[in-house]
């Protein structure tokens, strides 16, 4: 068995590291997307409350918080799988018996498609705010923007009239 030149193995290891970093970026994006989905549901509930609309948030298994958590958990699992695959390829390169595996790619792609479809259902299936049914809160005082308008007064005004 002949050993590969050192420069070729170095390139293979660098390619392995680039692939690992791409998986890490993907997992970070999944985690960030999970946070965004989860917080979007909270934002919609706060918006409905501020517009004096009845809450439509149901305590079902399928809601934005659970969907967001699923994306975060899947992002964390992707980091674990990426690390495992990186180490597996590292030792295959060292032994000179590298074998590509497509199963991990198919599994992760399938899970992302499923989570994405479920997230799309959240967006399409959610009740949109109808501007014709919105009754704004009555204004108790007008906001006068003057140089002496303090931050405390602005916070109190926003708390009374916006939130």
Q: Report domain extents, the chain.
A: 6-135
Low-confidence residues of the chain: pLDDT under 50 = 128-131, 133-134
Query: Which three-class secondary structure string do you get for 43-102?
Result: HHHHHHHHCCCCCCCCCCCCCHHHHHHHHHHHHHHHHHHHHHHHHHHHHHHHHCCCCCCC
| pLDDT on residue 58 | 55
Give the model confidence (pLDDT) of 26-52 as tens digits: 999 999 988 888 887 777 777 777 777
Q: How far is CA 163 from CA 29, 52, 72, 130, in A?
A: 31, 10, 29, 19
């Amino acid at each position: 068995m002949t050993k590969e030149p050192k420069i070729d193995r170095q390139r293979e290891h660098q390619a392995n590291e680039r692939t690992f970093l791409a998986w890490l970026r993907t997992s970070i994006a999944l985690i960030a997307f999970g946070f965004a989905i989860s917080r979007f549901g909270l934002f919609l509930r706060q918006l409905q409350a501020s517009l004096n609309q009845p809450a439509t948030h149901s305590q079902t298994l399928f809601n934005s918080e659970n969907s967001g958590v699923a994306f975060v958990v899947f992002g964390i699992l992707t980091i674990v799988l990426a690390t495992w695959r990186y180490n597996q390829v590292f030792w295959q390169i060292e032994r000179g018996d590298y074998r590509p595996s497509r199963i991990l790619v198919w599994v992760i792609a399938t899970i992302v498609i499923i989570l994405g479809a479920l997230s799309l259902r959240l967006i399409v299936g959610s009740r949109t705010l109808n501007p014709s049914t919105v009754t704004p809160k009555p204004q108790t005082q007008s906001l006068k923007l003057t140089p002496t308008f303090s931050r405390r007064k602005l916070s109190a005004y926003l708390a009374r009239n916006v939130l």
